DNA sequence: CTTCTCACA
DNA sequence: TGTGAGTA
């Protein structure tokens, strides 16, 4: 379930295709990029190349705009979303450290001199 | 022919 | 946001 996400992130669509898929003008698509709502890649010829995720994002932007939200407002939505994801990542790293500490403490408390003597070394207890 | 940047009788 | 100019 991760190869799929990788493909969705591949920038393979030229702006013309994106225009058809989103019903937005090239002017609008570039305008949103200028306001950092999007970050399409560039091919060797300086042409913008979009991914399927970019298409979804543009469609999302179009909906927000239709609901009366402005560019600045949409930008804040994405900034907060990114902040939340960052916290989730930090929490995951934190949990990993806690597990390592508990494991080390357990191995040490059991009086084992090395992990080779730890009969459950390959078992995910923590 | 498509896309890019820039500018506005 | 539209559109035309001049490129690449």
Report pLDDT digits (tens) over A12-34.
999 999 999 999 999 999 999 99
**Do residues A61 and A32 touch, judged by C-beta distance below 8 A?**
yes
Domain definitions of chain A by residue range? 1-69, 82-126
* CB count in 10 Å sphere of residue A49: 18
Reported as a single tens digit per residue, the pLDDT across A95-120 is 787 777 886 686 667 665 544 444 44
Among A12-16, A53-57, A99-103, A122-126, the minimum mean pLDDT is found in A122-126
Tell me which DSSP letter residue A12 carries: -
pLDDT averaged over every residue in chain A: 86
* CB count in 10 Å sphere of residue A54: 24
Please state whether strand B lies within 7 Å of residue A16 at its CB atom: yes
Please state whether strand C lies within 7 Å of residue A4 at its CB atom: no
CATH code given to domain A1-69: 1.10.1660.10
The arithmetic mean of pLDDT across residues A55-62, rounded, is: 97
Q: Using the CA of A29, which nucleotide's C1' is the nearest one?
A: C1
- If one compares A122 and A11, the residue with the highest pLDDT of the two is A11
């Amino acid at each position: 379930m991760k190869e799929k996400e990788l493909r969705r992130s591949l920038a393979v669509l030229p702006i013309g295709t994106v225009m058809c898929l989103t019903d937005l003008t090239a002017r609008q698509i570039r305008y949103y990029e200028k306001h950092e709502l999007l970050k399409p890649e560039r091919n060797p010829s300086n042409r913008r190349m979009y991914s399927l995720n970019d298409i979804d994002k543009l469609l999302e932007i179009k909906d927000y705009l239709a609901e009366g939200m402005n560019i600045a407002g949409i930008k804040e939505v994405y900034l907060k979303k990114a902040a939340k994801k960052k916290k989730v990542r930090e929490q995951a790293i934190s949990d990993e450290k806690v597990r390592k500490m508990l494991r080390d403490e357990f191995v040490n408390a059991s009086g084992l001199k090395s992990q080779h003597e730890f009969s459950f070394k390959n078992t995910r207890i923590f």
